[in-house]
Structure 1
Amino acid sequence: MLDSTQFDLDAYFRRIGWDGERRADAATLRGVHLAHMRAVPFENLDALRGRAPSLDPADLMAKLVHSRRGGYCYEHNTLFACALEALGFRVTLLTARVVVGADTIASRPRTHMALLAHVPGEPRPYLADVGFGAIGSLLEPVPLIADVEFAGAGRRHRLVHVPHDGPLEMWLLQAHDQEKDDWTGQYAFTLEPFEKPDFDVINWHIATNPRSPFAQRVYVQHVGATRHLLLDGRLLTQTRPDGTVTEREVTGEAEARRLLDEEFGITAPEGMTLLTG
């Protein structure tokens, strides 16, 4: 599916700190998924500079594995797909409509990348996604089963079917909101497979369209074991596993650069402006 000849599984595992089994089974899938989420930050610094990041495996290795950088959904999930294929999983690339803050599902375009990981010998694939840059994102993959709650690394998710006019069923990933004690939609998708050229186009659009939120303000997150840290523009938000949230405004450019270095593990490119407006 992907040209992963320049992908180095050993280097990838060193980056995410994985020293477990290298088998194409559900336990390895969950473990590697969580390790990736904990190790590689989500960030949009290339898009903020008006540049569409490369999705070629060699460039992803250089940026996300060998440098103190992260990426956004297309980068994370393309890299993760290469790792899964190297382990022996079959992977299907999916597109999704992000519904967080949307009035309707149809009001959002298919701009998010997610994965289906097919485990040899298991009847159902797993929804895997290491690139959804939002609080409450999947920490572990979930089986493609409707109306069943799954708890992974302290977060609760479920998949439900939603009305859809197309020929394929539409699935909606929901996360449990601790504060509201309710389920909220994250993104909707069908099982139609997409290919790398499709994401080359979507990636360019999201990175360079001036109306894209990723091209307008810095957006960086790190998912730690004891906190979720998010820098969204000038707002720094820390969310604890018990739902406790603290917020403050970043004072200026120097502090933003220091936070990226010390709290997110990111070395920002020299000369770029992190805080705008």
Structure 2
Amino acid sequence: MTSDHAADHGRRPGPGLDLDAYLARIGWSGERRPTAEVLRSVHRAHALGIPFENLDPVLGRAPSLALADLEAKLLRGGRGGYCYEQNTLLAAALTTLGFEITLLCARVVLGAGPGDVRPRTHMLMLARVPGGPTPYLADVGFGATGSLLEPIPLVAGAELHDTPRRHRLVNTPHDGPLEQWELQAHTVGQGWESQYAFTLEPFEAPDYEVINWHIATNPRSPFQHQVYVQRTTPDAHLSLTGRTLTVTAHDGTREERLLADGDEVLHVLAVDFGIRLPPGTRLPE
């Protein structure tokens, strides 16, 4: 399947997004037109503006992917979300702005051992500028230091200097009829590191409902048992895994600190990540 074919069959989320509330949440106030520059700047503002978090699964519930619920949680509720929530929201915003969207699903290969085959569980998308020659890979929901800050053109060998990060797309061999793509991030001192692999088979909203339920409720899912929170700022990347807070500077230097208890976790979530939880919330120790 060619990239042209995939983008011509864009799967659009349903209408109804409060675009004003979304743009206010990410702090973006540019011209509302479907241009490459708008795509780049909205994507970057979202990546910097809304934290990644899996607190709903940790608290024993699967997050709703209904647009009204995402608005209540991520736009008005002082919360973040993981890939299905983040990218459903971005897809709705880009569709409202006039971009053509194709939803996709990837296998995360970051941290996988030799021979490991993980299921396709990561939501991402292609975004096409109307009349543009090449779609862009867009993804604001990959909770890692190698996540995209800006969209990257779907071109083999394309390299993106989304300051302060670097990414590239390559084609990789696999058993299947569709071309496989891989997003790689450049890590200081380690070179190019694979993040996830995907084909251009379009996915639909009900597909993510199933995957979301599995990731949030399966007893074997790591997202159900441990807090994973990420936030990218103009100066650093913050990560909270369990009670371990890691701050990664743009030059690759890292500082780690073990938080004392659940109360300190809640304090750091509020102050450092900008995540507000209802009074009386207690996270599993």
The TM-score with structure 2 as length reference comes to: 0.93
- The question of whether the paired residues in 1 share the 8 Å contact of 2:106 and 2:121 is answered with yes
Number of the residue aligned with 2:8: none
Q: CA deviation at 1:20?
A: 1.0
Q: 1:214 to 1:269 in 2, by over 3 A?
A: farther
Number of the residue aligned with 1:138: 148
Number of the residue aligned with 2:243: 234
Number of the residue aligned with 1:18: 28
Map 1:1-277; keep pairs closer than 5 Å: 1-104=11-114, 107-180=117-190, 182-276=191-285
**One-letter code aligned to 2:174:** H
Three-state SS of the structure 2 residue aligned to 1:35 is helix
Q: 1:269 to 1:107 in 2, by over 3 A?
A: farther
Unpaired segments ≥5 residues, structure 2: 1-10
Unpaired segments ≥5 residues, structure 1: none
Q: CA deviation at 1:106?
A: 5.9
CA distance in 2, matches of 1:159, 1:149: 7
Q: CA deviation at 1:269?
A: 3.6
**One-letter code aligned to 2:112:** A
| Number of aligned residue pairs | 275
CA distance in 2, matches of 1:240, 1:24: 33
Three-state SS of the structure 1 residue aligned to 2:105 is strand
**One-letter code aligned to 2:199:** T
**One-letter code aligned to 1:153:** T
Q: CA deviation at 1:114?
A: 0.5
| Segments ≥4 residues shifted beyond 4 Å | none
CA distance in 2, matches of 1:69, 1:105: 37
**One-letter code aligned to 1:263:** D
Q: 1:235 to 1:148 in 2, by over 3 A?
A: same
CA distance in 2, matches of 1:216, 1:105: 25
Three-state SS of the structure 2 residue aligned to 1:113 is strand
Three-state SS of the structure 2 residue aligned to 1:107 is coil
**One-letter code aligned to 1:30:** R
Q: 1:43 to 1:186 in 2, by over 3 A?
A: same
Three-state SS of the structure 1 residue aligned to 2:166 is strand
Identity among equivalent pairs (%): 60
CA distance in 1, matches of 2:64, 2:224: 16
Q: CA deviation at 1:275?
A: 4.5
CA distance in 1, matches of 2:125, 2:114: 23
Q: CA deviation at 1:241?
A: 1.1
Three-state SS of the structure 2 residue aligned to 1:155 is coil
- Over the residues paired in the alignment, what is the CA RMSD in angstroms? 1.3
Q: CA deviation at 1:159?
A: 0.6
- The question of whether the paired residues in 2 share the 8 Å contact of 1:33 and 1:128 is answered with yes
**One-letter code aligned to 1:222:** R
Q: 1:97 to 1:201 in 2, by over 3 A?
A: same
